[in-house]
Amino acid sequence: MHLTFPAPVFDANAQGASDKNFGDLPNWDLSDLYPAADAPEVQRDLDWVHTACATFAADYEGKLADLDGAGMYECITRNERISQVAGRLGSFAGLLYYQNTTDGERVKFFSDVQDKLTTSTAPLVFFSLEVNRIPDETIETMLGHADLARYRPIFERMRKMRPYQLSDELERYEHDMSIVGASAWNKLFDETVADLSFTVNGEDMGLEAIATLLSEQDRDTREAAAREIARVLGLNIKIFTRVHNTLAKMGDVEDKWRGMPTPQTGRHLSNDVEPEVVEALRNSVVAAYPKLSHRYYELKRGWLGLDKLQVWDRNAPLPMEEKRTIHWDEARKTVMDAYAGFDPKMAAIAEPFFDKGWIDAGVKPGKAPGAFAHPTVTDAHPYVMLNYLGKQRDVMTLAHELGHGVHQVLAAEQGEMLSSTPLTLAETASVFGEMLTFQKLLADAKTDAERKILLAGKVEDMINTVVRQIAFYDFECKLHEARKSGELTSADINALWMSVQGESLGPAFEFMDGYETFWSYVPHFVHSPFYVYAYAFGDGLVNALYAAYQEQPEGFQDKYFDMLKAGGSLHHSELLKPFGLDASDPKFWDKGLSMISGMIDQLEAME
């Protein structure tokens, strides 16, 4: 998962967590951002941002249309520097918070930094609004300036928002209210999830630990975990229902004021992707449910010897799969060998993540669940968060998040405004890293049983990335549409959730009582509405890219690294052109989906 504004630790040089099964798991060293939360550098930069924003507004508000190209270039670079310093502060505070979301000091520090940055940057709200009032011909004249020309994508994206921007006063009001708006509900969600406590076989654990039990070999353990998750979510469902109701209504109100035609429009704009491209992706995946998830889970039902699969069987290992804990050093070697096999430069970029405290891997009380790679700012480096539990999927998660990290390092040369990729493209390098790791493991497999286990695992991961995420997207679309008609009860949201589950997973499944609440802990619905289709976009794109790599490996690496270096400076159509690919063509998505179908063909042939 790629986070845009995360998290840190008050002891910025804490020692790595150690586990007798996993080895020495690294902790973040956040001193590359700031020495500590109470370091004078933090206050220095907060003061600098406050002054810089006020000075910027005094120098430019009401005057942008009168600038020439050189003047606009100076304006942009000053704005970019403010973003860099503010981003460093926000990243540090966020990374501390996500490392322990239940620590009161970290919670306060994160909230205080967000509050101060929101207040300080309020004077900048005028900038995009005023740019969008400048006539097109004036902007074109400015962009004739050689240094400013590279920022053309920034102006183009801003101007796509022209039809939807509010008055200056309302935009300022929304900016000032943001800290008690969506971000406050996000924090309530995060803190509620972090506080959840589950008990299985007499052992107390958090969400991350119990979720991993769903992939245990023992079916009774998987069932106990699933039922305990359902029980605890049921106890907290009122909070989650309130969070989702509020955020969906907030989105509806904003969309109405802005005149956005659909709840998804804002996400498509921020992703710099056309609605019809997303619709083509969604329709291709839904049409493929029978030949992908339905077909695979019917195979799995037979392997497990069951009349019906239950939700606790979805990620179950195959019967012949050995239970094995993967040591951290082995996980590192597996991923690094795969990266080096593609290109030694890729491994060289990934190496510092392990050696310089750029990864936080251990499962710890209060730590946010899941995983992410956060780019921080372009004059620092990314940080990766994992919750490593020694499973094969954890190795793939490491490969995934390191792919993000490599992408973020390469894109940093674009500078603060152009380095960040839209979410649809942000998943490209991460999913490609997973694919490289999988192909390495498959090539090294010594028996048909090993190959079968690896193929099945990869198919499941791809189904989770493509089928499951598109089902999530459909759920969100239904939720936001239903909320327009009034408050939704927990039962209403549960029903929407179940309406997409049977369709996507297929007839091999039946669903236990309580599964209807499993929507409630998915963080993407809260933090980044409609984010989830980006995973399917990224997987389909990578499948097509990998097919191109297999068909014509000569020179592929250079084109691939150029694509990552471009960051957010090019539209997806331009990025894919060197590979002869076009995401607007429905056949593009069918090509990606056929790779998954082909792996299921191989599994069927092994029967």
pLDDT of residue 418: 95
Q: How many residues does the chain have?
A: 607
Residue with tokens 């802990």: 521
Mean pLDDT over 367-391 rounds to 93
Evaluate the CA torsion angle 313, 315, 318, 319 in order and state its sign. Answer: negative
The Cα angle at residue 210 between residues 205 and 211, in degrees rounded to 5:
145
Task: For residue range 572-585, list pLDDT tens digits in order.
Answer: 889 999 998 888 88
pLDDT of residue 20: 55
pLDDT of residue 4: 36
pLDDT of residue 398: 97
Mean pLDDT over 28-36 rounds to 97
Per DSSP bridges, beta strands 359-360 and 383-385 are parallel
Task: For residue range 135-172, list pLDDT tens digits in order.
Answer: 999 999 999 999 999 999 999 989 998 898 888 888 88
pLDDT of residue 175: 82
CA distances from 532 to 427, 477, 538 (A): 11, 11, 10
Contact yes or no for 15/101 (Cβ under 8 A): no
Residue 587 has pLDDT above 90, yes or no: no
Task: For residue range 517-533, list pLDDT tens digits in order.
Answer: 999 999 999 998 998 99
Contact yes or no for 407/429 (Cβ under 8 A): yes
Report the helix count and the strand count for the chain, using DSSP H and E.
28, 7
pLDDT of residue 224: 97
pLDDT of residue 486: 96
Q: Which residues contact 606 (CB under 8 A, 6 or more apart)?
A: 448, 451, 452
Task: For residue range 59-82, list pLDDT tens digits in order.
Answer: 999 999 999 999 999 999 999 999
More confident residue, 303 or 588: 303
pLDDT of residue 183: 87
Residue 8 has pLDDT above 60, yes or no: no
Percent of the chain with pLDDT over 90: 76
The C-alpha atoms of residue 75 and residue 64 are separated, in whole angstroms, by 9
pLDDT of residue 10: 25
Percent of the chain with pLDDT over 70: 97
The C-alpha atoms of residue 150 and residue 143 are separated, in whole angstroms, by 8
Q: Indicate the average pLDDT of the chain.
A: 92
Q: Which residues contact 535 (CB under 8 A, 6 or more apart)?
A: 427, 431, 465, 466, 469
Note if the pTM is more than 0.75: yes
pLDDT of residue 78: 97
CA distances from 288 to 308, 543, 591 (A): 21, 15, 12
Task: For residue range 591-605, list pLDDT tens digits in order.
Answer: 889 999 999 999 999
Mean pLDDT over 417-436 rounds to 90
Of all helices (H) and strands (E), which one includes residue 577? none
pLDDT of residue 145: 97
Mean pLDDT over 481-506 rounds to 97
Reported confidence tier of residue 55, pLDDT bands at 50, 70, 90:
very high
Residue 337 has pLDDT above 60, yes or no: yes
Mean pLDDT over 492-504 rounds to 97
Residue 9 has pLDDT above 60, yes or no: no
The Cα angle at residue 181 between residues 172 and 177, in degrees rounded to 5:
25
Task: For residue range 85-132, list pLDDT tens digits in order.
Answer: 999 999 999 999 999 998 999 999 999 999 999 999 999 989 999 999
Residue type, 522: V
pLDDT of residue 250: 95
- Give 71-112 as a 3 state SS string: HHHHHHHHHHHHHHHHHHHHHHHHHHHHHCCCCHHHHHHHHH
Reported confidence tier of residue 13, pLDDT bands at 50, 70, 90:
very low
- Give 143-189 as a 3 state SS string: CCCHHHHCCHHHHHHHHHCHHHCCCHHHHHHHHHHHHHCHHHHHHHH
- Tokens encoding 294: 């339905």
Structural domains in the chain? 17-180 (1.20.140.70), 204-322+464-527 (1.10.1370.20), 328-459 (3.40.390)
More confident residue, 234 or 12: 234
More confident residue, 586 or 519: 519
553 burial (CB, 10 Å; 0-12 / 13-18 / 19+) is exposed
